[in-house]
Amino acid sequence: MSDQEKDQEREAILKNEQEQDVNENSVNESDTSDLKKSPQDTPDSEKESIKETEQKKQETSVDESDQNENKPGDTTSEKVENQIEASESDEDEEDEITSSDDEETEDDSEQDKGTTDYHSMSQKELVGSLKDLLKTGKIQEIKKEVDEIRHEFNSQFDDEINEKKEEFIAQGGNIIDFHYSSPLKNEFNSLYFEYREKRNNYFKNLKKDLQANLQKRLELIEELKGLIDVEENINTTYKHFKDIQERWREAGPIPRDGYNTVWNNYHHHVENFYDFLHLNREFRDLDFKHNLEQKLKIINRAEELANEENVNKAFRELQLLHKMWKEDTGPVAKEYRDDVWDRFSAATKVIHDKRAEYQKEIEKDFEKNLELKNEITSRIEELTENTKNSHQAWQQGIKALEKLREEFFNAGKVPAKNNDESWNNFKEAVRNFNRKKNQFYKNQKKEQYTNLSKKQELIKIAEENKDSDDFEVVTPLMKKIQNEWKQIGHVPRKDSDKIWKQFKAACNHYFDRFHASRNKASEDEVKNLEAKNTLLEELKAFDLSGEPKSDLKFIKEKISTWKDIGRVPFAKKNIESKFNKTIDALFKKLDVSKKEIELIKYDNKLNNITSQDDERKIQNERFFITKKIDEVKQEINQLENNLGFFQYVDDSNPMVKEVHKNIQRHKDELELWKEKLKKLKEVM
């Protein structure tokens, strides 16, 4: 092999090390074949053109966003949105500003970086994630995650806007007057604008620094070129040369697109200087000897890396060795040049071959993981397609989706070339499931607003007739609208209590007047009142014996006696309240289960209701208990769903314990309400 061919081979591998894609999948068989090429010296015409090119770049405006200043009169929200859109115009330019030092390859463990399941987060959680990224992440490394958070937040916010718009129109609003924002949206816009500002400033400063470093290096090349023509003592010239070399090493990174040209230009003039230095062999041989020692150290380390078990670690260090070979060492004597380069090339090829083999092996496992993840995505799509439109079916579907999501994240890594596609397909499948689920519940809400309108009409009828004295006509009407109320169905939760209290108040007002007009005190009712007063005083004077069973038996007997006494005058019906308070006070002193006490008290309450022979009160009581049962069931379902978020948390966790405790408490409460409903049905 001729000297010229050897030189060409050296140049090619150095150039290849600089230009190769540092992503792990860019290392393949071509890495080793490229070792058989070599450096060419840069022509003088090319060197002279470097300055002109860089000057043109410096004249180009870096920040185009200045042309998008906000107009007077913009709202704060609009200003933020405008500034965000304007700042995004710099995106392409930022991606091109890359330091020549950004050469290190990421480890295989970074393959799945950026696949956090932001889609499962709420808007509040997304804001928190963005805030954490801005605090802990490097501004130049978080773009992918920030973009995904922003996409997910805007998607959820758009759904929220559509929902609010539907509510606004359902309540009779004009679409022209609709406007909606939220504190979370404002906070997110503020954080995202902060991110864009920091990112823009980072790349502006980076470009400024890279251009300054480039200018330093160009000036050093010019200074190096002048050493050959200067008339001074050779010792002085050599010291000047070594000073230029030191300043070159400390000059810092430059833009990637100009790196090879600048380095080749510098290398060319270093070689020229060594040719000039040939007149003084003592200096040249001394430098050649030092360079040889340095290169042998690099070679020895490269050969040691061939035995490194961690292939990726060896590969990353090899890249640093090539950079040291290129940046930190100069030429060696011609008689050693081919030998040292051949040894270094051979060590490099061994490591490249091992890494290529390693990549082939792990790709086999990655392919299996890809098949599994694709299967999970298909199962999610089937789940979306087959879930029926019912509350129970969608709740079961949500639980099934959570299990599939967990399987997906536990499946392992996939080939890098398929990583984005696999992840995007999974996200889209989950998103489609949630869209269909949300659409079902949106339709449910529409139905609830229709029910709300119907119940408001019944409230209007009740309030218009609550003061009527035509009891024969109005009483059937009031009973009729009470039955219609029960048949209508659910309304939005935020309106439920309000309209029920309004309707109940109107109905109670009417029926209180109706019963007051009909109920006059009779002799029997007066006697009953006296008997109940006597029994009440007896209970107030009663002291517990200390035997719970005996005391409980006594109290039950008194309650039974009270039931048998009968009605009292309508104007004196508050005696029932006094009796209940006295019984409650005695129960508190007894060592009896809460459930048993509640049922005994409820028996007494039922007696009061049935003794009045008031069908309305009985129906109201049934409606009240049924409503309570539904509410407790909903609370249990909600708490059980919440447990899904703690599936990776140990059961001994205080928060998980508290959720289990609340579920049990609600289940006990549910059983009590069911027992009360059973007793109510027995007397109806």
Q: Does the structure show a pLDDT above 80 at 382? A: yes
| Sign, CA torsion 558/564/565/570 | positive
Residues with Cβ within 8 Å of 279's Cβ and at least 6 positions away in sequence, in order, are 234
Q: Does the structure show a pLDDT above 50 at 15? A: no
**pLDDT tier for residue 113 given thresholds of 50, 70 and 90:** very low
pLDDT in tens, 195-223: 898 889 888 888 888 888 888 888 888 88
**pLDDT tier for residue 485 given thresholds of 50, 70 and 90:** very high
pLDDT of residue 100: 53
pLDDT in tens, 410-443: 888 888 888 888 888 988 888 888 888 888 877 8
Neighbouring CB atoms inside 10 A of 183's CB total: 8
Distance CA 144, CA 149 (A): 9
Residues with Cβ within 8 Å of 652's Cβ and at least 6 positions away in sequence, in order, are none
pLDDT of residue 241: 82
Single out the residue of 15, 110, 20, 13 nearest to residue 312, CA to CA: 110
Task: Provide mean pLDDT across the span 135-142.
Answer: 86
Look-up of token digits 């070599």: 38
Distance CA 588, CA 68 (A): 73
| Opening angle at CA 676, ends 670 and 682, nearest 5 | 140
**Mean pLDDT for all residues in the chain:** 76
Kindly state the tokens that stand for 218.
Answer: 């160009």
Helix, strand, coil shares, percent, the chain, to 5 = 80, 0, 20
pLDDT in tens, 530-568: 898 988 888 888 888 778 778 888 888 888 888 788 778
pLDDT in tens, 562-613: 878 877 876 788 888 888 888 878 877 776 666 777 777 777 777 767 666 6
Kindly state the tokens that stand for 246.
Answer: 């030191």
Residue 409 burial by Cβ neighbours in a 10 Å radius (0-12, 13-18, 19+): middle
Q: Does the structure show a pLDDT above 90 at 507? A: yes
Kindly state the tokens that stand for 649.
Answer: 């948390």
pLDDT of residue 505: 92
**pLDDT tier for residue 459 given thresholds of 50, 70 and 90:** very high
Gyration radius (Cα) of the chain, Å: 42
Single out the residue of 527, 523, 524, 507 nearest to residue 515, CA to CA: 507
pLDDT in tens, 245-286: 888 888 888 888 888 888 888 888 887 777 776 655 666 777
| Sign, CA torsion 174/175/177/181 | positive
**pLDDT tier for residue 504 given thresholds of 50, 70 and 90:** very high
